[in-house]
Amino acid sequence: MLRHTAIAVADDDRDAHQPDPTAEKPDPARPDARTWRPIPVPTVLAVQECLPPGVAAALLNRAHTDTDLVLFADPEELAMFHRIDGNTAIAELGLGAAEFVRRLVRHDLVVLDASSCEGTTS
């Protein structure tokens, strides 16, 4: 591994809803994550040529040195990806948004702004 991306926060600034400091990544599918706002990484590229059937785009982060970290998006996911603007909450993106955002986070294509976290809802 030549490069690794990590996010560090001060111990007193940790998310109150995720008190375990060893937790791997925030889970956009958590009930209290509906107000989180995904923010596209500025180096993301949506390639829309030479794709297999049913795939609308290959999403990749140009900052990655390894070119095999690609997320293939179908037409609905690509439309959802284009609605991600840093201001729109996960709940506002549409059906299946939480799982799609989880995949985007795992592929280092978005980061999450959880500063508007309202807490768990019933």
**What pLDDT, in 10s, does the model give residues 51-95?**
999 999 999 999 987 777 899 999 999 999 999 999 999 999 999
- Residue 82 has a pLDDT of 97
DSSP state of 103: H
Distance CA 114, CA 102 (A): 14
**What pLDDT, in 10s, does the model give residues 4-31?**
666 555 555 544 445 555 455 677 878 8
- Residue 5 has a pLDDT of 61
CA distances (Å), origin 112, targets 32, 52, 69, 77, 90: 13, 29, 19, 17, 10
First to last CA, the chain: 42
Q: In the Cβ-directed half-sphere of 95, how many Cα atoms lie within 13 Å? A: 1
- Residue 43 has a pLDDT of 94
